[in-house]
């Protein structure tokens, strides 16, 4: 597994954190799922 450090706007972080709590998953899982969706959509 690879570690990635990125800076994101505070508002996006807040929304992602709220949505991950609603979905009862970690923020890490939320971000991985979002990236997967974007990558797989391009195929």
Between CA 6 and CA 21 the distance in angstroms is 21
Q: What is the structure's pLDDT at 4?
A: 94
Helix (H, G, I), strand (E, B) or coil at 42: coil
Between CA 20 and CA 24 the distance in angstroms is 6
Q: What is the structure's pLDDT at 43?
A: 65
Sketch the domain layout of the chain as residue ranges: 10-41
Q: What is the structure's pLDDT at 3?
A: 94
Q: What is the structure's pLDDT at 12?
A: 98
1-43 per-position pLDDT tens digit: 999 999 999 999 999 999 999 999 999 999 999 999 999 987 6
Between CA 31 and CA 5 the distance in angstroms is 12
């Amino acid at each position: 597994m690879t570690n990635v450090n990125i800076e994101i706007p505070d508002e996006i972080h807040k929304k992602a954190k709220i949505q991950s709590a609603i979905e009862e998953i970690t923020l890490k899982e939320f971000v991985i799922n979002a990236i997967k969706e974007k990558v797989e959509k391009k195929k």
